[in-house]
Structure 1
Amino acid sequence: MSESKQLEGFIPGGLVVENLYGTLEGSLSIAGEVEHIELQAGQLHLAETGVMKDGRVEAASVMIDGCVSGVTFTTPRLSAGAGARISDCVIEMGNPTGCAIHEDACFEGDVRISVSRKGGGDTAIGKAAAGKQDASLMKADTLVGDDEPDPHWPAQTPDISEADKDADIPLGG
């Protein structure tokens, strides 16, 4: 495995961490349980066995394959895998094209996803990476997102978090 692919932080399965605070320029993988998190990181991966409860995460990239509840994510790139169980969370995106959700991912409770054209690049991680000359951080800065509008996305994105009506969505059959 090359150095660039090695994890910089890892919380193994079976380990319960209360109150995880800090800043990590690299990546963090969580296979255990974190009960309160206040984290700024380059990349965050919540493994299938991982659990996160309550807090705030600001990262250039977030991959969720486990269970998360009560967490606010600020990220330009988020992916929810088939095993993702997301409940009562807020996801603040910097770009509408930076989100990938597997069809088997489960969203429960009050999950809000908002998109801000100015998000992503204005995060503390983005500012820190932009101020560094290290090549690996410059790659992370590229992942933070751009403020250029996507030509395939409408100029005015409606705010669906305050919709007046519930949508009737057929769920197969």
Structure 2
Amino acid sequence: MSDSKQPEGFIPGGLVIDHLCGTLEGALTIAGEVENVELQAGHLCVTETGVMKDGQVEADSIVIDGSVSGVTFTTPRLSAGAGARISDCVIEMGSPTGCAIHEDACFEGDVRISVSRKGGAGGSASGSGSSRTNSTSSGTPQANIPAGDDEPDLHWPAQTPDISEADQDADIPLGG
């Protein structure tokens, strides 16, 4: 049996885990249900039967073929397959070229995909990057906003319209 390559971590279908917290250098495959997750892994795969709810995941690559909701993903590579159901999630990517979304993948609710430019002369990010605010001596939280380069992004319009007071939601077809 040592000849067959098994994933380093596997949560089988039918198993429900209420709180998953830890670091795994290798791969984790989820075919069951996981709630309240705080995980760092080399590779994460949520299979067609897998369900992940609420939490934060940081991984080198993430493949979603199942259902995820309320999770913040931080990864340079994300793939959403045909059976993916992603709702109310935040996906933080290091590059816009690391994302593959199948035309039959379903996005519901408030899903945000952001690309951050890391590196350069400003130093490196540390750990999980989950601390995003600082408190001043008066106790008022203030956001830490990393300074970026001064070159404009050619793919971003020079002037973005203000949509903060939109009267209705937009219908955006996502394929098919």
- TM-score in terms of structure 1 length: 0.72
RMSD across aligned positions (CA): 2.9
C-alpha contact 1:12 1:31 (8 A) present in aligned 2: yes
Q: 1-side partners of 2:32 and 2:106: how far apart?
A: 20
* Distance change (3 Å), C-alpha of 1:38 and 1:83: same
The residue correspondences of 1:18-167 to structure 2 (distance < 5 A) are: 18-118=18-118, 122=125, 124=127, 154-155=153-154, 157=156, 164=163
C-alpha contact 2:103 2:175 (8 A) present in aligned 1: no
- 1:92-125 per-residue CA deviation (whole Å, 9 max, x = no partner) reads 0000000000000000000000001118x84648
Write out the 4+ residue segments of structure 1 that deviate beyond 2 Å after TM superposition: 1-6, 121-125, 154-158, 165-173
- 1:126-162 per-residue CA deviation (whole Å, 9 max, x = no partner) reads xxxxxxxxxxxxxxxxxxxxxxxxxxxx54646xxx9
Deviation, 1:6, is: 3.4
The alignment partner of 1:97 has SS state of helix
The alignment partner of 1:36 has SS state of strand
* Distance change (3 Å), C-alpha of 1:20 and 1:163: farther
Larger radius of gyration: 2
* Distance change (3 Å), C-alpha of 1:49 and 1:122: same
Structure 1: gaps (5+ residues): 126-153
* Distance change (3 Å), C-alpha of 1:157 and 1:22: farther
Q: Which has the higher contact order (CA 8 A, sep 6+)?
A: 1
User: Which one has a larger percent helix, Structure 1 or Structure 2?
Assistant: 1
Structure 2: gaps (5+ residues): 129-152
- TM-score in terms of structure 2 length: 0.70
Q: 1-side partners of 2:60 and 2:107: how far apart?
A: 22
* Distance change (3 Å), C-alpha of 1:111 and 1:163: farther
Percent identity over the alignment is: 77
Number of equivalenced pairs:
141
